[in-house]
Amino acid sequence: MSGEEKRGASAHRLNLEGRERLFIAGVEDVVSFDEREILLDTTEGSLLLRGEGMHINKLSVENGELQIEGQIDCVEYSDSAPSRPGFFTRVFG
């Protein structure tokens, strides 16, 4: 699947509310997560989130949507692919 086809399937977008709630669309996989760091694979590349007390509140694997709550301090993109299969790929793949 090309990058254009992936973007058409689920457009990537972020909606951050007061650094406490983050809605993300265009999520392809959750690579790793804990209360301080969440690494995602999105249609726009890898996305690293850092903060405190973060947890995944809602996840829709079918729609590629994710909601995170907690203190969100950093949102960082990288074009490099994750080095290992993600959690949900291992469970559902």
Domain boundaries, the chain: 3-81
CB atoms within 10 A of CB 27: 22
Distance between CA atoms of 76 and 49, rounded to whole angstroms?
A: 6
- For CA atoms 74, 36, 38, 54, the dihedral sign is negative
Distance between CA atoms of 90 and 93, rounded to whole angstroms?
A: 5
Residue 61 pLDDT level (bands cut at 50, 70, 90): confident
Per-residue model confidence as pLDDT tens digits over 27-47: 999 999 999 999 999 999 999
Please give the model's pTM, rounded to 2 decimal places: 0.75
Considering the four listed CATH numbers 3.40.47.10, 3.40.50.1220, 2.40.50.100, 2.60.40.2000, the one that applies to the domain covering 3-81 is 2.60.40.2000
